[in-house]
Amino acid sequence: MNKKQMRKDILAIRDSISKEDILKKSEIILNKLKATDIFKNSKNIMLFTSFGSEVYTHDFIIWCKRENKNIVLPYIDKSTDTMKISVFNSFDDMKAGYKGILEVKEECIQSFDEKKVELIITPCVCYDFNKYRIGYGKGFYDRFFAKTPNAFKIGICFDECLVDSIEYDEYDVKTDMVITDKRVII
C-alpha cells in the first residue's frame, strides 16, 4: 500500500480510539520510556506537544522538567518552512502555532544547538516492525534527523498504528527504538 493511503487508513484507526484509552495507553507507553537507560541517562531531550489522537505528552513534558531534564520542542519556522527547536520552560509560554499545534511563542523562543540533543522522541502516524515511520507527509522530521545523526531516536506509537511494512525512500530515517503500549521494538 502506498504511504498516502496508509497514512489515511491509520489516522482513521487512531482517531477512533477513545480519549480515555488514549490517556491510558499513553501512560503505559511513557512509563516504558521513563524506564529505559537511554532516557534516564539523557539530559537534553526533544519531545513534541501532542495534538489530536497522538500519544498524549503534555503531562509527561511537565514531569520531565521536574526531573531536571532539558526539554526542547519543535516549531515550524514559517519563513523557511523548516522545523526548528526551542527550549521549553512552561506551558504559559506556548500558543497554538502550525496546524494548531502548541508551540513556544515567538517572543519566548530560546534556540538550542541541535547537535546537543541526545534523545529525540518522535511522533508518527504509524511505524512498521523495521522502525520506519510515516508522519504527516511534510518530511519535517526526516529533514531534521539529517542534522542530528548522533541523537538516539525513539518513536512512540499506539499498538494499533503498527503496520507490517512501510514503503520508504532514501530520505526516510529509521528510528532506533519504537515503544507501543504492547511491545518495544529494538
Ligand X SMILES: Nc1ncnc2c1ncn2[C@@H]1O[C@H](COP(=O)(O)OP(=O)(O)OP(=O)(O)O)[C@@H](O)[C@H]1O
Binding residues for substrate: 54
Instruction: Tell me how long the chain is.
Output: 186
Annotated binding site: 3-7, 54, 133-141
**Of the candidates 42, 74, 135, 158, which one interacts with ligand X according to CB under 6 A?**
135
**Of the candidates 36, 143, 176, 185, which one interacts with ligand X according to CB under 6 A?**
143
Does the protein bind ligand FFO through residue 54 (CB under 6 A)? Answer: yes
- Piece in contact with ligand X (CB under 6 A), picked from 51-59, 85-93, 165-173, 177-185: 165-173
Start-to-end C-alpha separation, the chain: 24
Smallest distance, ligand X to C-beta of residue 88, A = 20
Does the protein bind ligand FFO through residue 155 (CB under 6 A)? Answer: no
**Of the candidates 13, 51, 70, 177, which one interacts with ligand FFO according to CB under 6 A?**
51
Gap between the Cα atoms of 132 and 100, Å rounded: 26
b/e burial code for range 74-83 (CB count within 10 A of at least 16 → b): bbbeeeeeeb
Residue 17 · residue 43 · CB < 8 Å: no
Gap between the Cα atoms of 60 and 66, Å rounded: 10
Residue 127 · residue 155 · CB < 8 Å: yes
- Piece in contact with ligand FFO (CB under 6 A), picked from 27-35, 45-53, 84-92, 111-119: 45-53
**Of the candidates 88, 132, 141, 152, which one interacts with ligand FFO according to CB under 6 A?**
141
- Piece in contact with ligand FFO (CB under 6 A), picked from 1-9, 46-54, 158-166, 177-185: 46-54
**Of the candidates 48, 60, 145, 152, which one interacts with ligand FFO according to CB under 6 A?**
48
Which CB atom, from 146 or from 186, has the smaller least distance to ligand X?
146
What residue has cell string 509527561? Answer: 60
Residue 136 · residue 126 · CB < 8 Å: no
Rounded to the nearest angstrom, the gap between the alpha carbon of residue 157 and the centroid of all alpha carbons in its chain is: 9
